[in-house]
Structure 1
């Protein structure tokens, strides 16, 4: 049977201007539409204020409910050839229903990034801060080995759930090669269950602004994402005061969707720390800045804010975990620091030295062409999905662990969901 119908079950409705996750989802949808596939996007979430207009792409929309057999009737009538689950929570909720009513549908997981890795690193940061009041040097934190990461991840409930969902699906889309390697080498996930699919972009039609046409620093990121909020706090308390001491006329413009009062309270024009809120055009504000700052002390995946900086030809300063999965060899289009002192020194050097800055801008384009070309990755993904669909029975026979996990977990999830539904109906 030809590959025709695709159902995407979203954790949220896509908001490409709010987060890298929303941007990556839109890239996937564009890829599917370009193949001529009939795409339906369904979600149990409320519609956000920055939701993308899917109808303009010819994508059908469907609101669905958790723990409700109305989804069974919907998916049974649709009979998709492929179901893409947006993060493991959606696979837990709807995977057993898809398997029951559409057993031949290929089940694909969009991991976005590994939440279990992000949570483990957040825990490690908390331990580090509790053990030492020093908020400058985090070298030991950034140098933690994959073995230590595995020890912190392996017993966590979220890790067990996330890795189990990866085994249960026919394929998982991985945004970071570091995470693919971690799953294969530490968690025993077969490589043929994974497909590397990073953020995908096309070069901007106009050349980036030059050194003299730019001014100030920029930091951007959705405030609902915990790593971004932590980065803003570290910037405000440690990194920016060091930069401002060296560059007393410079300003830092902080942008982010869903800006909370605790963030706007940090706004301080006297210190050049300006909280701007949501950016209607992120590429415009990043493209006008001379240097992008992303001092991330925990997180996972690859960072949309840093890819946007490359796209705009804006050199960036970040941490080893910020650059993780995005470096080409040892090269980075900017600078990487492990402490507030190193980050500030790197930021000042880039900001003040034209030749150093220009060399970093050239590397921005080189990184884009080498790792994030939309056409290359979209075609590779489409080929992988078509090949998997054509050989699905053999692929599933080879994944005994996934079959076993589906047998046990889906039965317990099924009965728990039916119990919730029955309880809701009796109220």
Structure 2
């Protein structure tokens, strides 16, 4: 019988809407290659943008929050491995998994460190620098407690690996660096991509529900785009993204060359049509999926230090704009100079090949899982803080959930 994997999602995977959705589909693909039977479960309402999991042989199960029906479901399914798609999912269901299937290996896919993103967002709002002091907040405590309660946590960025180990002293045995898993791009495919001369306009892209993306869109509209248009009066910026609200659509202004296009059915198509991606991310965490989409499609980009975090060691400062003046200058240079544009495109391919090889990281992850399965008892004994948190969380969350369930019945 095949090994069983249960993925508990805070949301259903939406690979065309978010980097988190693409990341989850990469994990599903990996586990399928390892002959796992896979079920994805979520208490989230259905979405029109959700991937059709049945089309790839993955079962989809709706579950309820604070309801004992989940206990019956997981006991019957009896998974070998359970993946939580972010720490909130582990908070909601982790104690039930431990109670019903104590031998199941629990993996937390952080996607990005939520506490880091929220800390940076608050710092931007307050117009202050991010320091170690303001990293120690309630969200931080919740997310790190979740890391300790799990047997392994997947960390998408080298910067976040360093933060967890150096600042929060989390043992490396609990962490696995697993970035985006990028398939090789052949030289033939590179040559088939549209050239500098056959592309036009700037592009931005991102799920508008995601606060860093909406903030970046406003920053583009209010600050960056005016400066670019002053130097390139005929240039256009086409902004793509899912879940465009009324306040997003109101930013559309054809006279200013600022177009809100909404959901992109094919991100590769719109990327290949465009000359330069603008990604002025002012707060956030993890790796930015839009930059990877751009590099895979040979589309140079301008971003910020926060935007390129996790790949920054190979990004030239010429393509990082942390001030409006820098961002505008780099954007215009990329848009108008063939040599500069071609250099950046080649650098993108190099980054993908040298830092994010799917074959390399899948091999490492496979070896780590095999080791974890073979040593799980000893592994858990060494994680005594996790045992303490598991014990107290199991008790407190259990009775809170039972109270909510009784109240709702």
TM-score range, shorter chain: over 0.9
1:334, 1:360 within 8 Å by CA — same for their partners in 2?
Answer: no
User: Once the two structures are superposed, what CA deviation does each residue of 1:116-154 show, in whole Å capped at 9, x if it has no partner?
Assistant: 0000000110111xx8xxxxxxxxx5xx5xxx1x21121
Matched, 1:34 2:33: yes
2:7 counterpart SS class: strand
Flag as ranges the 4+ runs of structure 1 deviating above 4 A: none
Matched, 1:163 2:136: no
Structure 1, 315-324 or 334-343: larger mean CA deviation: 334-343
User: Once the two structures are superposed, what CA deviation does each residue of 1:388-410 show, in whole Å capped at 9, x if it has no partner?
Assistant: 11110010010000000011112
2:308, 2:315 within 8 Å by CA — same for their partners in 1?
Answer: no
2:248, 2:260 within 8 Å by CA — same for their partners in 1?
Answer: yes
User: Once the two structures are superposed, what CA deviation does each residue of 1:85-138 show, in whole Å capped at 9, x if it has no partner?
Assistant: 11011111111111111010000001010110000000110111xx8xxxxxxx
1:38 counterpart SS class: strand
Structure 2: gaps of 5 or more residues: none
2:219 to 234, 246, 251: 234
Matched, 1:152 2:121: no
Correspondence for 2:160: 179
Correspondence for 2:207: 222
> Shift in Å at residue 185 of structure 1?
0.8
1:346 to 320, 327, 330: 330
Structure 1, 352-361 or 196-205: larger mean CA deviation: 196-205
User: Once the two structures are superposed, what CA deviation does each residue of 1:149-186 show, in whole Å capped at 9, x if it has no partner?
Assistant: x21121x2111110100011000000111111111111
> Shift in Å at residue 232 of structure 1?
0.4
Matched, 1:305 2:290: yes
2:79 counterpart SS class: coil
Correspondence for 2:119: 120
Matched, 1:419 2:400: no
Matches within 5 A, 1:25-424: 25-128=24-127, 141=129, 144=130, 148=131, 150-154=132-136, 156-203=137-184, 206-207=189-190, 208-327=193-312, 329-332=313-316, 335-424=319-408
2:159 counterpart SS class: helix
User: Once the two structures are superposed, what CA deviation does each residue of 1:296-339 show, in whole Å capped at 9, x if it has no partner?
Assistant: 11001010000101001111000000000123x24349700111
> Shift in Å at residue 21 of structure 1?
0.2
User: Once the two structures are superposed, what CA deviation does each residue of 1:206-251 show, in whole Å capped at 9, x if it has no partner?
Assistant: 3322110111100000000000000000000100100010000110
Distance 2:350 2:178 in 1: 19
What is the TM-score normalised by the length of structure 2? 0.97
Structure 1, 165-174 or 182-191: larger mean CA deviation: 182-191
Distance 2:243 2:366 in 1: 34
Name the count of aligned residue pairs.
Answer: 405
RMSD of aligned residue pairs (Cα, Å)? 1.4
